[in-house]
């Protein structure tokens, strides 16, 4: 694998970027469609490694998939047939490194029949998963194993009922139970006990999409006002024609390109309202000195300042944005503190360790704290180019690319890992500076 000669911006960037569909919305829509009471059509579907693994996993469980001839993002999903019509036997699900696949599909598998063997990338075997498998066992599932690889032995029904979990390591534990809960015989009453659940907007996304599919989630908040209980009654999941929003977490990298070069990046179809935590990149870039506008027809434009300003941020709810923000902090004026993100140690890689190692390799100043990073910014000209390692993490790769815009000659190792959520990333990134892929 050769390192990618990521482009440098000789001039402030001025570009418009069309973003593919949201990974998180696509994979939720696919699960709900596979469990629905009729066929659902998805348009603007993200086609990337994570979403193709979800498509393959659902197909292995019996869902039908029909793609439009001229548009791979237009797919009609026929739900998994009732247990009696599902062929028994052993099936396999490859989770790759996708949190949404490894945490959302086991409950769907438990409603299926036969033995379903789950595995994934070597790195995926270290991601937290036991909580969701233990919860499914409490709800009546027969599952061997506590992490990848594991096997679900299914007989077509799952009793469901009450379950208490500690979802402080990942919001996906809650979402993964909720998405299938209406199909459990007694629904599910989920209680979270433990330190606060991260990425709560992603749980709100789950709840909102379930409501669109006719499934009410009754929530109850703890003393601090944060929801810690979710209850779903048994019942049908309605088929919905889903229009997938653009991926705002992937947008973050491109908007960061404007911010770091003092240039301007626009992106169309920016939703006026969304549960995607990626939307928070806009106020964060504004705090760092950028200017953002959104036109009535949804064109978002971010224009960067001469020099970014350091920030003190709690990113607990929007942890996905951390690699991009950390890259900006490395060249901002002043010392930045990013907190509330201990759970990032269980993401694609230990992102706190990876970010501090790579920033420091360039001569920057990043220190890990128990729940985040402290980054002393320095002018880009003080950084020395060196290969930026991606650790098989798409967001590490895109963060490195942002720095490479202002640190000439900085190769990115394994840029192909961006295919996890955006296969076209290298080409679209190169187009930002008008360069071809070198």
Ligand X SMILES: O=C(O)C1=C[C@@H](OP(=O)(O)O)[C@@H](O)[C@H](O)C1
Ligand Y SMILES: C=C(OP(=O)(O)O)C(=O)O
- Binding-site residues, please? 23-24, 28, 99, 127, 170-172, 199, 320, 347, 351, 395, 420
The pair of three-digit structure tokens given for residue 226, joined into one six-digit string? 């944060």
Least distance from C-beta 32 to ligand X, angstroms? 13
Rounded to whole angstroms, the Cα distance separating 16 from 102 reads 34
Rounded least distance, CB 98 to ligand Y, Å: 5
Q: What is d(CA 412, CA 14) in angstroms, rounded to the nearest whole number?
A: 22
Does the footprint of ligand X cover residue 41 (CB under 6 A)? Answer: no
The widest CA-to-CA distance across the chain, in whole angstroms, is: 66
Can you name the residues that pair with 150 across neighbouring β-strands?
118
Take residue 123 and report the two structure tokens written for it: 């790195």
CB neighbour list of residue 183: distance below 8 Å, 6 or more residues apart: 35, 111, 158, 234, 237
Site stretch for ligand X (CB under 6 A), options 142-150, 198-206, 325-333, 430-438: 198-206
Q: Quick one: 317 or 410, whose CB is closer to ligand X?
A: 317
Query: Nearest-CB residue to ligand Y?
Result: 99
| Residues 6+ away with beta carbon under 8 Å from 408 | 8, 385
Q: Which is nearer to ligand X, 156 or 271 (CB)?
A: 271
* Candidates 96-104, 149-157, 275-283, 289-297; binding stretch for ligand Y (CB under 6 A): 96-104
Chain centre distance of CA 224:
26
Per the structure block, which two tokens stand in for 330?
């490395």
Q: In terms of DSSP H, where are the helices of 182-247?
A: 200-212
Instruction: Considering only the stretches 95-103, 115-123, 160-168, 365-373, report the one whose residues sit in contact with ligand Y under the rule CB under 6 A.
Output: 95-103
* Rounded-to-integer distance, Cα 4 and Cα 416, Å: 9
CA dihedral 283, 288, 291, 294 (to 10 degrees): -20
What's the CA gap between 174 and 168, in Å, rounded? 10
* 86, 100, 189, 349: residue in contact with ligand X (rule CB under 6 A): 100
Q: Shortest gap between Cβ of 27 and ligand Y (angstroms)?
A: 8
User: Cβ 400 to ligand Y, closest distance in Å?
Assistant: 15
User: Which of the ranges 115-123, 195-203, 261-269, 405-413 carries the binding residues for ligand X, by CB under 6 A?
Assistant: 195-203
Does the protein bind ligand X through residue 199 (CB under 6 A)?
A: yes
Binder of ligand X out of 183, 202, 351, 394 (CB under 6 A): 202
Tell me, rounded to whole angstroms, the distance of Cα 16 from its chain centroid: 23
Nearest CA-CA partner of 160 in 145, 120, 179, 319? 179
Q: Which is nearer to ligand Y, 15 or 207 (CB)?
A: 207
Nearer to ligand Y, 41 or 49 (CB): 49
If one asks whether residue 100 binds ligand Y (CB under 6 A), the answer comes out as yes
Burial, 58: exposed, middle or buried (Cβ in 10 Å; 0-12, 13-18, 19+)?
A: buried
From the list ligand Y, ligand X, none, partner contacted by residue 395 (C-beta under 5 to 8 A by kind)? ligand Y
> Both tokens of residue 384?
């020395």
The pair of structure tokens assigned to 205 is 């996304």
Using only C-alpha atoms, what is the Rg of the chain? 21
CA–CA gap between residue 221 and residue 231 (Å, rounded): 12
Q: Contact between 263 and ligand X (CB under 6 A)?
A: no
Q: Number of residues in contact with ligand Y, rule: CB under 6 A?
A: 8
Q: 3-state class of 322 per DSSP?
A: helix
Tell me the window of 8-16, 194-202, 213-221, 328-336 that interacts with ligand X (CB under 6 A): 194-202
In the complex with ligand X, the residue whose CB is nearer, 99 or 160, is 99
Residues at the annotated binding site for phosphoenolpyruvate?
23, 99, 127, 172, 351, 395, 420
| 41, 91, 183, 347: which one binds ligand Y (CB under 6 A) | 347
Picked from ligand X, ligand Y, none, the partner binding residue 198 (CB below 5 to 8 A depending on kind) is: ligand X
In this structure, what token pair is assigned to residue 284? 């964060």
Minimum CB separation of residue 278 from ligand X in Å reads: 9
320 part of the interface to ligand Y, by CB under 6 A? yes
Report the nearest approach of ligand Y to the CB of residue 26 (Å): 11
Site residues for ligand Y per CB under 6 A: 98-100, 320, 347-348, 395, 421
Residues that bind ligand X (CB under 6 A): 24, 99-100, 170-172, 175, 198-199, 202, 319-320, 343
């Amino acid at each position: 694998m050769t390192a990618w000669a990521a482009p440098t911006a000789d001039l402030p960037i001025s570009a418009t970027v069309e973003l593919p569909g949201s990974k998180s919305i696509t994979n939720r829509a696919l699960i709900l469609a596979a469990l629905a009471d009729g066929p659902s059509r998805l348009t603007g579907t993200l086609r990337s490694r994570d979403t193709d693994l979800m498509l393959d996993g659902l197909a292995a469980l019996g869902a039908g998939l029909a793609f439009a001839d001229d548009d791979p993002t237009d797919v009609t999903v026929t739900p998994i047939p009732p247990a009696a019509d599902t062929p028994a036997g052993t099936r396999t699900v490859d989770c790759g490194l996708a949190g949404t696949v490894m945490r959302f599909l086991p409950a769907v598998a438990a409603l299926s029949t036969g033995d379903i063997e789950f595995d994934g990338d070597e790195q995926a075997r270290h991601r937290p998963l036991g909580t969701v498998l233990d919860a499914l066992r409490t709800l009546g599932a027969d599952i061997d194993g506590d992490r990848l690889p594991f096997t679900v032995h299914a007989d077509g029904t799952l009793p469901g009922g009450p379950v208490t979990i500690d979802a402080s390591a990942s919001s996906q534990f809650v979402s993964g139970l909720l998405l299938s809960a209406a199909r459990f015989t007694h629904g599910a009453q989920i209680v979270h006990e433990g330190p606060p659940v991260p990425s709560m907007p992603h749980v709100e996304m789950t709840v909102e999409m379930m409501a669109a599919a006719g499934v009410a989630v009754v929530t109850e908040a703890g003393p601090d006002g944060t929801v810690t209980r979710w209850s779903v009654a048994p019942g049908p999941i309605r088929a919905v024609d889903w229009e997938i929003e653009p991926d705002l977490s992937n947008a973050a990298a491109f908007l960061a390109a404007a911010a770091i070069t003092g240039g301007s990046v626009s992106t169309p179809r920016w939703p006026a309202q969304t549960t995607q935590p990626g939307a928070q990149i806009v106020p964060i870039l504004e705090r760092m000195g950028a200017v953002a506008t959104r036109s009535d027809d949804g064109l978002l434009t971010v224009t960067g300042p001469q020099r970014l300003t350091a920030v003190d941020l709690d990113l607990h709810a929007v942890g996905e944005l951390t690699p991009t923000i950390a890259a900006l902090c490395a060249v901002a004026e002043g010392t930045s503190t990013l907190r509330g993100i201990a759970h990032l140690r269980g993401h694609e890689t230990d992102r706190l360790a990876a970010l501090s190692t790579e920033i420091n390799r360039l001569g920057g100043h990043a220190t890990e704290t128990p729940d985040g990073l402290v980054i002393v910014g320095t002018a880009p000209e003080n950084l020395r180019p060196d290969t930026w390692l991606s650790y098989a993490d798409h967001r590490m790769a895109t963060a490195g690319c942002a720095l490479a815009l202002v640190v000439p000659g900085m190769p990115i190792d394994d840029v192909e890992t961006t295919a996890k959520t955006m296969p076209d990333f290298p080409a679209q990134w190169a187009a930002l500076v008008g360069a071809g892929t070198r």
